[in-house]
Structure 1
Amino acid sequence: MTAVDPAVPIPAPGAGGGRAPGTSGLLPLVAVAVTLVLWASAFVAIRHLAHDFSAGALSLGRLAAGALALAPVALAQGLPSPSRRQWVSIVTIGVLWFGIYNLSLNAGEQRVDAGTAAMLIQVAPVLIAVLAALFLGERFTAQLAAGLALAFSGVVVIGLSTSGGDNTGDLLGVVLCLVPAVVYAVSVILQKPLVADLSAVHVTWLACTVGVVTCLPWAGRLVSEVGDAPVSSTLWLVYLGVFPTAIAFTTYAYALRHMTASALGVTTYLVPPLTIVLGLVFLDEVPPAVAYAGGALALLGVGVARRARGRKAVTAPAVPGQDPRA
């Protein structure tokens, strides 16, 4: 697999190789804010629904609601016409970011609290740096290695803090919450070139629909569990599909069109504190005390790794390219 540098902004059509129109405006910032708040709420909603829906049924219900909500908006813009190479990227994102991400996160949040899950996924920016080193030929510096070591140490601390025998979490839950970080990192690199040529709504709708197909094996479970769940839980399931999925993934894709992937990735560091606050308010639940230290250590590692990449970008600017992925 090859990819373009997620730290390099790709000009939108007609942008003349410069920054996309509107980049300096407020809309991308508003899109980021909407994404962060809705994604933080998703961690809390998933945790709340863990007693009523299994991981597969919850994934399918959320994605189906999201795809249905996006369909009229996407079709109002006309039928999308991705190239064959773009279709490969869209299908990959749909399977990974919408399918596997949701399945693994939902299973993980049945074992760890919402705040811990949100902290674990923030390892993704470091993983993006690893992918850039592996597939983009970027130099793997000592500072980058130090950042990775710090981030991994933080994850270990979180894992140990949630496996203390109090039934609030376990190491399997930690692993399940790290899988979404991996697929998120891969998907961001794949999505960046797509939103330069296709609308954010089209990319999100197509990928979400692929995610629905990926989760179809749990259709029977979804029907059964919706029948047994209280109406309030079903409404929360619809909320997950319409707001943190249909709206938030679209606003994220829109922001990614106008910002570098690295800059946008940094903003997601705000998701864990937002999640912790929402979890305290709605679930009366907070991560174990030691997990805060692990989260801080992981984020410090991410910061060290990002500084290493930022300095390299200053001394050796990359040349924007088109999507060569397959």
Structure 2
Amino acid sequence: MNPVYVNKVQPPRLTLWMALISVYVLWGSTYLFVHFMTEKMPPLYMASLRLSTAGLILFLYARLTGTPVPAPKQWLSAGIIGVLLLTIANGSMSVALQYVPSSIAALLAALVPLFIILFNWVGFGHIRPTNLSLAGLVLGLMGVSLLVQPSGSGMVSTNNTWIGVALIMVANVSWAVGTLLSSRLTLPSQLISSAIQMLVGGLVLFLLSMITENVTLTSIGHAPVKAIGSLVYLIIFGSIIGFSSFAWLARNAPPQLVSTYAYVNPVVAMLLGWAFAGETLNAYSILAALVILSGVVLITLGRK
């Protein structure tokens, strides 16, 4: 979601860079660990456990530190955002990683700003993008067309590949709509709001998993060590620490600095996928990545 810079006091430089590096590396690594988590386990089931556990921990922490219980309207609003951002967007991404490499998924996910400014233009704020943002839109679309070509990008163009790409586009659309709705709904304080979003999003994912996947309540007992380790990593580092770092940045750093995660995360994901998952990293995929990330940079600069 778009960070709001509300603290005019200059934050400590060391704390600022530690928080930035945390968001860069931890969020960039989530694509690889989701891939590891769901290699031999149902993706919706594992994603639901990750979100529900992280949400429960955050909710208990918020209550223990004195955050009041939200009103029913705030629960409903946070639940709606949770379904959009986590059930649909996170769930779609988890399934998509069954079909496309984590590095490609991260690059396509970097196009979320494209959908945000498009929907804000045609449906929400009716705000025309700047010329710089429009140039970024064109570049981003060009990068996607390069990325999904079968001639050397590291992806084999099959029906399954296109299923993965389509699911990531669904995730991007849902994340953009959820982001734009977040500023229009009555939400509780940020910490407990995120906790409710994770709890509701995780619960709905779990129900979907029970309906569509061959799982039971005790299926986690059959998960391999690699999947369990990845699940624990995503709960602690991807959801709790990564989120906390982002929440601190949202209140203490300029938005143009915070938004750089949108084009640093895919680079981290590409390098980790190449180093630890044997994913292809060649000149063609690097060219497509540079085009997409250049488009995201222009969109970010245009939104300033």
Matches within 5 A, 1:27-66: 27-66=15-54
Matched residue, 1:272: 266
The residue type paired with residue 139 of structure 1 is R
CA contact (8 A) 1:151 1:301 kept: yes
Shift of the 158–225 alpha-carbon distance from structure 1 to 2, 3 Å rule, reads farther
Matches within 5 A, 1:171-320: 171-191=162-182, 198=189, 200-217=190-207, 218-219=209-210, 221=215, 223=217, 225-259=219-253, 261-287=255-281, 289-310=283-304
Shift of the 256–280 alpha-carbon distance from structure 1 to 2, 3 Å rule, reads same
Distance, in Å, in 1 between the alignment partners of 2:94 and 2:265 is: 17
Indicate the SS of the match to 1:286: coil
CA contact (8 A) 1:61 1:222 kept: no
Matched residue, 1:15: none
Matched residue, 1:322: none
CA contact (8 A) 1:32 1:251 kept: yes
Q: Once the two structures are superposed, what CA deviation does each residue of 1:101-126 show, in whole Å capped at 9, x if it has no partner?
A: 22111111111111111111111122
Indicate the SS of the match to 1:24: coil
The residue type paired with residue 42 of structure 1 is T
Deviates more, 1:202-211 or 1:137-146: 137-146
Q: Once the two structures are superposed, what CA deviation does each residue of 1:232-255 show, in whole Å capped at 9, x if it has no partner?
A: 322321222222012212322332
CA contact (8 A) 2:263 2:297 kept: no
Indicate the SS of the match to 1:160: coil
- Give 1:146 deviation, angstroms: 2.7
- Give 1:154 deviation, angstroms: 1.0
Distance, in Å, in 1 between the alignment partners of 2:26 and 2:221 is: 27
Q: How many residues align?
A: 296
Distance, in Å, in 2 between the alignment partners of 1:160 and 1:110 is: 19
Structure 2 unmatched ranges of 5 or more = none
Shift of the 285–171 alpha-carbon distance from structure 1 to 2, 3 Å rule, reads same
The residue type paired with residue 156 of structure 1 is S
Distance, in Å, in 1 between the alignment partners of 2:220 and 2:120 is: 42
Deviates more, 1:147-156 or 1:179-188: 179-188
Distance, in Å, in 2 between the alignment partners of 1:37 and 1:252 is: 12
The residue type paired with residue 22 of structure 2 is V
Distance, in Å, in 1 between the alignment partners of 2:186 and 2:258 is: 14
Q: Once the two structures are superposed, what CA deviation does each residue of 1:135-181 show, in whole Å capped at 9, x if it has no partner?
A: 22322444433321211121122122468647797122122223332
Matches within 5 A, 1:20-31: 20=7, 22=9, 24-26=11-13, 27-31=15-19
Matches within 5 A, 1:62-101: 62-82=50-70, 86-101=74-89
CA contact (8 A) 1:65 1:238 kept: no
CA contact (8 A) 1:97 1:187 kept: yes
Matched residue, 2:140: 151
TM-score of the superposition, structure 1-length normalised? Answer: 0.78
- Give 1:33 deviation, angstroms: 2.2
The residue type paired with residue 25 of structure 1 is P
TM-score of the superposition, structure 2-length normalised? Answer: 0.83
CA contact (8 A) 2:137 2:299 kept: yes
Distance, in Å, in 2 between the alignment partners of 1:168 and 1:68 is: 38
CA contact (8 A) 1:42 1:244 kept: yes
Distance, in Å, in 2 between the alignment partners of 1:49 and 1:188 is: 26
Indicate the SS of the match to 2:148: helix
CA contact (8 A) 2:55 2:199 kept: yes
Matched residue, 2:95: 107
Shift of the 305–64 alpha-carbon distance from structure 1 to 2, 3 Å rule, reads closer
Overall identity of the aligned pairs, in %: 25
Distance, in Å, in 1 between the alignment partners of 2:187 and 2:45 is: 33
Structure 1 unmatched ranges of 5 or more = 11-18, 311-326
The RMSD of aligned alpha carbons is: 3.2
Shift of the 260–97 alpha-carbon distance from structure 1 to 2, 3 Å rule, reads farther
